[in-house]
Chains A and B, each alone.
Chain A
């Protein structure tokens, strides 16, 4: 379980990355027009939700140890990576 927690944040980050990149390409290919950016922003926020949850320290009394500490910081890094890397969906030109 601690191993899963260690990679959980970045697995979600990877999934978000793939989905956003795919939706960006699909929206351009099939001409989604005005809907394209809201869909991307919605997915962006959707990806941030579980990452924010993972970035919160475990409840008091929960198992602690070196791996939990590493997992917590890996998950916080994943949240930061998602916030920064996915942010261009809010402003960058989508298909040009």
Chain B
């Protein structure tokens, strides 16, 4: 540190710390650049699979009375097409992009939790593989990508097809959940010093809001999948109307996730557009502040539209009006962004290049999709067009227009960052026109077939209904579209092989990612910059060499540790020094253990599943081994005359924020469960005359007292981190009390009555099970804090483990109270007439 090495010398020192070795050691990589690329490559592979399936669909529908695919296979093909495109392509693609790009855009050396990134990737790979292997084996899901009950319930889908979806998608969603938490925390806490929230590039704002939406949006789907799988596997009736369930509950839970999901997919793409358009308009984005307000509005409004997928199920006019108005209104914040982009182009000096072709394609296609969206928001029209090919056309215009076209613009814009080479352009332009023409030929005509009455998901149709030529042309368009994508793929391969190399920043961009070398080094920045201005108006070509020379924060290699910085959430002032964990095989082993749990459930080896869950838990508990510090280090030099404490000595570090975020997500899942119980109580048929759950009052009351006392004991331990005896006594008491609460709740579950007989028993059974599980987790977190304290990792300054124990035990206490409240409510004789 005393003698500044040359830029190359510094590169070698940092690369020795951060790099992933070749060979099998690649499996241990936790580096965000590598994992981001893996996510995107795998997502593109799934995109190709989904595209292949779409060609099979169009081949089948090209002519009437086609016998190309039978209805059974066709059902699997169209279900898998939707499932693959939504869950295995779109979500992981933007996750991978954000994982790759965000630290570079924000001026960090990696994400907040590199091993969690790796774990998420393996879950995505294994979960996605389950679905694809099932398809190859002929047992793929076949009830449509939204798996409506009762079609997907056991009596109507007796095979494992639906289980493959429920378990495979839930497994994949682990990667979405982990990515959401990680991105949220990274954006808030791991920016370059000086980058206040108001200096963040818009892409980071878009991803912050997207991550927030994922935190709230994914739990209802995960809960719905768990409940449906429990109904299928263990006969607990949640969706069976003959036993007090209701198929509409599934629709609510699915679309509570499903509609925000459309915006979850669109917002990252819009973030990419907000980054690309100013570069080619050669002026800063217009309406930075208005766009932030529009993103927030869009995010919230998107949670108030879900019932527009259910307009025809027979709900009162007032409810229809709520959701119809919200569905129409969400067009306004969308339009604010569209006009900001158009205004940026109109007031700038636009230059045309390949990414701009796709931006143009986006405008044309997405605006059409938006307009048909407003049409579908109107209840009378929706009733006419519901479940017809008009809806298929609309959703493809929105999703391809709102995600695939921006993604292709982003690929052409950022692929040089990954490859270090520029596009050859020879294939790029014909590829674009094939895609644009092919897409519109395929899907514009579907508006017409839909309006002519063609229902979606039919495997064939008679020849005398006037749909023949339109379907044939749609199929021709589909194949043209595929040729366009094939050319893009070829173009990408050629770019990696023959593209011209360049120095930094080929587009004269204004964002920080172009200040790295290309391809980027394993540590991103040899020194972390200080931001004095908005981080989308920089000069990367000028900043890059300065940073590579070590001029900035942490412009040195120290103790062989992977160092990066955490900042104050609002101001961006440097606050903590984060030492990130090194590469490890633990994420891979943990994901394999998780896979064993899901596979055991899938193959109905229920005795094995608890071992898989236990192995996962034990492996997770191994993650902190060797991390942290056994002594207080105090402020540490980070360069530029500043010294900050290590994050383990800071009260509001990324680990605490991540756990708070995880609890919000967990709370959303629990709130969805409470909603489900109340929904069934109020709306579901066959509750009159059902027997109330019998809860032993003493056990419930004692469980509440025990769990709340455990929360208090862990809070007391967290307040006295420097006193050994009260700390240990508090944690031991928390463990004992949570175990007592768990036991009491388990006893109560046994006393409820047969949970397979009626939803009135099944809902309390699951709710108490959830509460018992969280009592167990509270005990484990307290035991973990005790263990870390015994090892010397906890002190008056280093108290993260104590804070986590307090958070999880407090959450468990709250859950027990609410769970027992719901059970009591279901026990009253207040069943709706």
Q: Is A47 an interface residue (CB 8 A)?
A: no
Chain A interface, >50% SS class: helix
Q: Is B662 an interface residue (CB 8 A)?
A: no
* Contact sample, A vs B, 17 pairs, CB 8 Å cutoff: A3-B570, A6-B296, A10-B297, A11-B300, A29-B832, A30-B832, A30-B833, A67-B197, A69-B293, A70-B292, A70-B293, A77-B297, A84-B325, A87-B325, A92-B316, A93-B318, A95-B316
Report Cα–Cα, A29/B316, bound state, in Å.
12
Minimal Cβ-Cβ distance residue in B for A66: B198
Report Cα–Cα, A43/B411, bound state, in Å.
48
Minimal Cβ-Cβ distance residue in B for A14: B300
Structural contact, B304 and A14, CB atoms closer than 8 A: yes
Q: Is B469 an interface residue (CB 8 A)?
A: no
Chain B: residues with Cβ within 8 Å of the partner, total of 35
Minimal Cβ-Cβ distance residue in A for B296: A74
Partner of B683, one of A6, A29, A77, A88: A29
What's the minimum C-beta distance from B295 to chain A, rounded to whole angstroms?
9
Residues of B within 8 Å of A71, CB to CB, are 293
Chain B interface, >50% SS class: helix
Residues of B within 8 Å of A25, CB to CB, are 319, 682-683
What's the minimum C-beta distance from B248 to chain A, rounded to whole angstroms?
11
Find residues 10-61 in chain A having any chain B CB closer than 8 Å to their own CB: 10-11, 13-14, 17, 20-22, 24-26, 28-31, 40
| Contact string against A for B residues 516-540, beta-carbon threshold 8 Å, 1 for contact and 0 otherwise | 0000000000000000000000000
Report Cα–Cα, A66/B318, bound state, in Å.
38
Q: Is B160 an interface residue (CB 8 A)?
A: no
Q: Is B303 an interface residue (CB 8 A)?
A: yes
Query: Which one of B294, B297, B303, B569 has the highest number of Cβ atoms from chain A below 10 Å of its Cβ?
Result: B297
Minimal Cβ-Cβ distance residue in A for B682: A29
Q: Is B363 an interface residue (CB 8 A)?
A: no
Partner of B317, one of A1, A3, A70, A96: A96
Structural contact, B321 and A74, CB atoms closer than 8 A: no
**With known contacts A14-B303, A29-B832, A94–B296 Cβ distance under 8 A:** no
| Contact string against A for B residues 800-833, beta-carbon threshold 8 Å, 1 for contact and 0 otherwise | 0000000000000000000000000000001011
Q: Is B693 an interface residue (CB 8 A)?
A: no
Name B's A-contacting residues (CB within 8 A). Answer: 197-198, 288-290, 292-294, 296-297, 299-301, 303-304, 316-322, 325-326, 329, 332-333, 569-570, 678, 682-683, 830, 832-833
Report Cα–Cα, A2/B301, bound state, in Å.
20
Report Cα–Cα, A14/B304, bound state, in Å.
8
Structural contact, A85 and B304, CB atoms closer than 8 A: yes
Residues of B within 8 Å of A28, CB to CB, are 316
Structural contact, B326 and A85, CB atoms closer than 8 A: yes
Residues of B within 8 Å of A67, CB to CB, are 197-198, 289, 292
**With known contacts A10-B296, A70-B289, A74-B296, A88–B321 Cβ distance under 8 A:** yes
Residues of B within 8 Å of A73, CB to CB, are 289-290, 293
Report Cα–Cα, A77/B291, bound state, in Å.
12
Structural contact, B297 and A78, CB atoms closer than 8 A: yes
Partner of A13, one of B300, B321, B830: B300
Structural contact, B683 and A2, CB atoms closer than 8 A: no
**With known contacts A73-B290, A74-B293, A94–B833 Cβ distance under 8 A:** no
Residues of B within 8 Å of A17, CB to CB, are 304, 322, 326
What's the minimum C-beta distance from B241 to chain A, rounded to whole angstroms?
16
Report Cα–Cα, A25/B294, bound state, in Å.
31
Query: Which one of A10, A70, A87, A89 has the highest number of Cβ atoms from chain B below 10 Å of its Cβ?
Result: A70
Report Cα–Cα, A54/B488, bound state, in Å.
49
Partner of A88, one of B198, B322, B329, B832: B322
Report Cα–Cα, A81/B521, bound state, in Å.
47
What's the minimum C-beta distance from B294 to chain A, rounded to whole angstroms?
8
Residues of A within 8 Å of B296, CB to CB, are 6-7, 10, 70, 74
Query: Which one of B197, B332, B678 has the highest number of Cβ atoms from chain A below 10 Å of its Cβ?
Result: B197
Structural contact, B300 and A88, CB atoms closer than 8 A: no
Structural contact, B833 and A93, CB atoms closer than 8 A: no
**With known contacts A31-B833, A81-B329, A10–B318 Cβ distance under 8 A:** no
